[in-house]
Structure 1
Amino acid sequence: MISGVSDICGTSYSAEKGHAKVSKMENEKGPQKNTMITNQKEIMFDETDMLDVQDPHHNGLLITLYIANHFVRRLLVDGGSSVNIILVDALKIMSILESEIVTRSSVLIDFSGETKHTISKIKLPIYIEGVDFVQCFCVIDKLSSYNVILGRPWIHEMKADPSTYHQCVKMSTHRGQ
């Protein structure tokens, strides 16, 4: 679990609470309209999603995605993280120009209460199932087992439903699930 302190990637905690309240009020007004990303179909997991998964397991959910025209491996989908994080080394491998990185230091607090400082932020396009979607990432220069941590901002904006048990992420797109 990683929590952002203060204003991380342009969204403060109080702004997120306000956005959630507005969304809740809109939902109470009536059914939501279809968007480009979703057809409002029900997402379900079943035993067919477990075909390639060795059970029992206690693995985190690791995926590979196409980010900024590169396949990036070792992405952790973490519903406990309030920010999306990318490592400086991953940006170097992706040949991202320094001019695209906005220098901005913020503080992140991990589960144990330890603080880490970000060195900058960057917006990168993520391509998934025919949809290009731009996400904001906090950039850190620390060693990690993962190149990217996709937190709640990505999960919520993509309307994704991750399952660590089934070791997959599902979402409704204009192409279906």
Structure 2
Amino acid sequence: MLIFFKKETLESHPICACCSQQATKENAPITFTDLDFAGTDPNQDDPMVIIVELQNFAVKKVLVDQGSSIDILYWKTFRKLQIPPEDLTPYDDPIYGFAGERVPTKGYVDLHTTFGEGQGVRTILIRYLVVDAHTSYNVLLGRPSLNAIGAIVSTPHLAMKFPSPSGDILTVHGDQKAARECYMASLKLPQPPLTAHNIETTPEGALLVGDDLDPRINSDSRVEPMGETRQFPLTRAANRKEAKPVSQKKHKLGEERRQAAKAEAEKLRLAEFVGEARYTTWLANVVLVKKPNGKWRMCVDYTNLNKACPRDAYPLSSID
């Protein structure tokens, strides 16, 4: 996630890592070899996720993001670190994400952060902006902290190297398992709901009105066709000539599923999306699947009909 400030905001409220003075002596060159890879799957494009020490806590799921101009401590992690809220320095200006979305801030706090393990460690003071946002990570380390320790990140090796105060080169390896867990968790994060500007409240509940369904309705600048128009007849599905109609036997749904299917069918009928048909040659049962929120999703089993229809010459493109 790329995070950046507006120029005037950054100048008036500097949020950056508290950097130590640069070492006067020349450090050893930093290089990477295949031996630096400590993951389980070398064929990877995983992000750099490491472990750091904050407030005497070993904090996992720390994302190293060279595209971020700030260091972020997420609000959920801030609370778990048992930091008194009064230690936060107020900072109300929002930050902006990759798509330009506004992200609210809580303030900022300076924390000593330790990189590495055992004897090969380095501790610096980092100024974290505390952000309340949905994420699968605990901390996001951006360019300020990476520049402060002189870190070089190699994503092919999932390793980060930086000089110690004595001039030795220290290595921090990425946690490939944690990186993939965070990625999978991010796919399940709640997304902000889509807002509709035209909603009318009826006795049956909220109802979307015309402007949300078709912007041409009730508009002074309605788009009209140009030139001669003609009716385009709707045709039936192009079944194979040798295909025979299939009428599935009625499946018992149970009382709860039956009531849910009846309610969904009534909604479709009122919306004039479906109509009643008698003596149909093709008949398929509905399948009800329970959603995570406890409600029912009604599907139709088109397996037999799909087998009887020729393959579309213009299929949809592959969707990831």
Q: TM-score, normalised by structure 2?
A: 0.45
8 Å Cα contact 2:52-2:60 kept in structure 1: yes
More strand by share: 1
1:153 aligns with 2:144: yes
Hey, what's the Cα distance between the residues in 2 that align with 1:166 and 1:172? 18
Q: Across the two proteins, how many residue pairs are aligned to each other?
A: 155
CA drift at 1:145:
1.1
| Matched residue, 2:5 | 4
- The one-letter amino acid paired with 2:30 is I
| Matched residue, 1:61 | 48
What is the correspondence of 1:12-31 to structure 2 with a 5 Å cutoff?
Answer: none
Hey, what's the Cα distance between the residues in 1 that align with 2:45 and 2:139? 20
8 Å Cα contact 1:108-1:117 kept in structure 2: yes
Looking at both structures, which has the greater relative contact order when contacts are Cα pairs under 8 Å and sequence separation is at least 6?
1
What is the correspondence of 1:69-148 to structure 2 with a 5 Å cutoff?
Answer: 69-128=56-115, 129-148=120-139
CA drift at 1:143:
1.4
Cα displacement string for residues 9-39 of structure 1 (whole angstroms, at most 9, x for unaligned residues):
94279xxxxxxxxxxxxxxxxxx723xxxx5
CA drift at 1:105:
1.2
8 Å Cα contact 2:72-2:131 kept in structure 1: yes
Identity of aligned residues (%): 23
Q: Unaligned regions of 5+ residues in structure 2, if any?
A: 17-22, 170-320
Hey, what's the Cα distance between the residues in 1 that align with 2:12 and 2:79? 20
1:52 aligns with 2:55: no
CA drift at 1:124:
0.6
CA drift at 1:7:
2.2
Cα displacement string for residues 41-74 of structure 1 (whole angstroms, at most 9, x for unaligned residues):
1111100012434121111100000112111110
Partner SS state of residue 157, structure 1: helix
Q: Unaligned regions of 5+ residues in structure 1, if any?
A: 14-31
Hey, what's the Cα distance between the residues in 2 that align with 1:97 and 1:83? 22
- The one-letter amino acid paired with 1:85 is I
Hey, what's the Cα distance between the residues in 2 that align with 1:169 and 1:41? 15
Hey, what's the Cα distance between the residues in 2 that align with 1:124 and 1:161? 22
Change in 2 beyond 3 A, CA 1:53/1:10: farther
- The one-letter amino acid paired with 2:101 is E
8 Å Cα contact 1:104-1:118 kept in structure 2: yes
8 Å Cα contact 1:118-1:138 kept in structure 2: yes
Cα displacement string for residues 109-158 of structure 1 (whole angstroms, at most 9, x for unaligned residues):
11111121211111110122443211001101111111100000011001
Stretch of structure 1 that moved more, 76-85 or 163-172: 163-172
Hey, what's the Cα distance between the residues in 1 that align with 2:15 and 2:134? 26
In the alignment, which of 156, 159, 168 is matched to residue 176 of structure 1?
A: 168
CA drift at 1:175:
6.3
> How large is the Cα RMSD of the aligned pairs?
2.1
Stretch of structure 1 that moved more, 65-74 or 1-10: 1-10
Structure 1 segments, 4+ long, off by >4 Å, are: none
The higher radius of gyration belongs to 2
